[in-house]
């Protein structure tokens, strides 16, 4: 009778082979993306895990006599982008108003195979002109469950599992849709706060995984990458980070990483959004930018929108 570890390895190998075959049959992911000039931002789909889903990202009205206990408003990468577009008016009045669909899930870690495929399925149905998959690959390498739902057998299984995640993104590329991804940062400082030691790959595995991601990106003109690993390393050193053409100094704009050492704060999410959209502009510089990546303006826009929703009808 085959052992559980050997069985898991065999099952992952079969799934990887099937994924590669599916990618070949369904299209050519290494082809250039099909972008209608000026329409890159028309329909955006956000896929990924809890960072994109806004875990722990909340803003509140300032405490006052009128608001002694202000309600917290939860934001995620999608809502930050929506408010960044609204805040850009009227200065960016000539830019189209993007439609942004949110498919990222904080439950990605529980079943990367099921959740990851479902997110891509739903994204493709929306006929996106751009897919943002910033933290989509994270739980294909981190975690304790592989893409088949089996326990992660060893470090080699993490690298094999990564191929399953890449094959899902190849489905998007096969449709001619450009993608923004992130590489894998070293989240060891989150052990004991949000992650267990068993969920974190070894430093050697992370190096190999990021090398593989880099090689994958290099053969796919429809992909651009935000260097999350380098960004996190700079933040850990207390350095100013440049994203989206702006400098983000934690000493001025506040911490960019939450206390769990895993998820970005509101300011961190805005900074990442700025980096994502400047990177995306490389696909089609002719598409007018609708974004204003100012945390103050985005916060005000979000609060105003919430206040408007809460206002009674007729007032």
Q: Which of 278, 20, 50 is nearest to 168 (CA)?
A: 20
Whole-model pTM above 0.75? yes
151 phi-psi bin (left φ>0, alpha ψ -120 to 50, beta other): beta
| Three-class secondary structure of residue 204 per DSSP | helix
Beta strands 43-46 and 58-59: pairing type? unpaired
Identify any residues that bridge with 74 across adjacent strands, giving them in sequence order.
58
Per-residue pLDDT of the chain (315 residues; tens, 9 = 90+): 345 545 445 544 544 444 444 444 445 677 889 999 999 999 999 999 999 999 999 998 776 666 666 678 999 999 999 999 998 766 566 666 899 999 999 999 999 999 999 999 999 999 999 999 999 999 999 999 999 999 999 999 999 999 999 999 999 999 999 999 999 999 999 999 999 999 999 999 999 999 999 999 999 999 999 999 999 999 999 899 999 999 998 888 889 999 999 999 999 999 999 999 999 999 999 999 999 999 999 999 998 877 666 544 443
Q: Which of 237, 226, 203, 205 is nearest to 272 (CA)?
A: 226
Q: How many CB atoms lie under 10 A from the CB of residue 151? A: 12
Instruction: State how far the Cα of 207 lies from the Cα of 185, in Å rounded to an integer.
Output: 10
| Rg of the chain over all Cα atoms, to the nearest angstrom | 20
Identify any residues that bridge with 225 across adjacent strands, giving them in sequence order.
181
pLDDT given for residue 313 in this prediction? 42
Domains and CATH numbers, the chain: 34-310 (3.40.50.1110)
Identify any residues that bridge with 182 across adjacent strands, giving them in sequence order.
226
Phi, psi for residue 46 in degrees, rounded to 5: -105, 120
Cβ 73 vs Cβ 302: under 8 Å: yes
pLDDT given for residue 5 in this prediction? 47
């Amino acid at each position: 009778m085959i052992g559980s570890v050997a069985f898991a390895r065999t099952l992952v190998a079969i799934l990887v082979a099937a994924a590669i075959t599916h990618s070949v049959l369904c299209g050519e992911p290494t082809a250039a993306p099909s972008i209608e000039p000026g329409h890159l931002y028309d329909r955006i789909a956000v896929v990924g895990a809890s960072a994109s889903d806004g875990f722990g990202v909340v803003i509140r009205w300032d405490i006052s006599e009128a608001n002694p206990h202000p309600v917290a408003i939860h934001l995620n990468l999608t809502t930050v982008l929506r408010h960044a577009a609204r805040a850009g008016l009227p200065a960016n009045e000539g830019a189209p108003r993007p439609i942004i669909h949110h498919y990222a899930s904080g439950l990605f870690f529980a079943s990367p195979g099921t959740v990851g495929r479902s997110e891509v399925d739903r994204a493709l149905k929306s006929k996106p002109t751009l897919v943002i998959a910033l933290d989509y690959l994270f739980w294909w390498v981190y975690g304790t469950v592989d893409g088949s739902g089996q326990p992660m057998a060893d470090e080699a299984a993490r690298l094999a599992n990564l191929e399953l995640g890449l094959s899902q993104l190849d489905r998007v590329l096969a449709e001619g849709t450009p993608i923004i991804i992130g590489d894998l940062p070293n989240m060891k400082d989150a052990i004991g706060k949000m992650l267990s030691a068993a969920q974190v790959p070894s430093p050697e595995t992370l190096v190999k995984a990021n090398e593989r991601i880099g090689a994958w990106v290099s053969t796919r003109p429809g992909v651009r990458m935000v260097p999350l690993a380098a960004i996190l390393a700079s933040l850990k050193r207390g350095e100013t980070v440049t994203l989206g053409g702006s400098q983000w100094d934690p000493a001025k704009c506040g911490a960019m990483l939450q206390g769990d050492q895993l998820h970005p704060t509101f300011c961190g999410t805005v900074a990442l959004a700025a980096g994502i959209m400047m990177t995306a502009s490389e696909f089609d510089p002719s598409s007018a930018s609708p974004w204003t990546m100012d945390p103050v303006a985005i916060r005000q826009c979000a609060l105003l929108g919430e206040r408007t929703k809460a206002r009674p009808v007729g007032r």
